[in-house]
Amino acid sequence: MLVAKDLRAFVRWPEEALLLWPGCDRVPAAGKKQKYHSFPDHIGKMAKVRGVTLDSRPNGPAIASFLLAGGERPARFGSVNSWSIHHLYSGKFPYYGRQSTTHAAKLGNHFTQSAGLIAAHPVADALVDEFPFFAWLLRANSFARFGYDPDKVFSENVDEYGFSGKHRSRIMSAAS
């Protein structure tokens, strides 16, 4: 698979592990189709200083986390859009022999965790959403970069945020 041989051409990673908004998820309120977000003031100030535009739509907090953690989101060719920000743990593709996997968008300690986010070229975005082996290749890469393993596949000892060993995430709070 040529994409896997040249991941940099198809996938961008954040520079650091950052849990931007602990407790934030993408689960809509009962009776609603989608969830829109009002960012806390401290995130708004941080974004303004860093030149990041906040988006209140459902995936906006994840996009902000990726960008504020130093991630690059290239523009798409022939489009006004940028590469998609994709959750590596999207509730799909449980590890062999398991019945479930982390669904980051539904969990407040994972939805805005940059270590589980990538910017994906449209080809890679389709692959990670359709092929388990590619999703697991990227999850393994996240583990190698950040020690992030919320499913406890690469390490059985992880903290409440999904990090193994000495690896930690910067966690934003109003006091940060």
Mean local confidence (pLDDT), 93-115: 97
pTM: 0.94
Looking at every residue in the chain, the average pLDDT score rounds to: 94
Please give the order of strands across the beta sheet that includes 11-12.
11-12, 117-120, 84-87
Q: What is the per-residue pLDDT across 51-83, written as a single tens digit (0 to 9) for each?
A: 999 999 999 999 999 999 999 999 998 888 999
Q: What whole-number distance in Å separates Cα of residue 125 and Cα of residue 118? A: 9
% helix / strand / coil in the chain, to the nearest 5?
Answer: 30, 15, 55
Which residue's structure tokens are 């934030």? 24
Q: Are strands 170-171 and 18-19 parallel, antiparallel or unpaired?
A: parallel
Q: What is the per-residue pLDDT across 13-56, written as a single tens digit (0 to 9) for each?
A: 999 999 999 999 999 989 999 999 999 999 999 999 999 999 99
Task: Indicate the SS3 state at residue 75.
Answer: strand
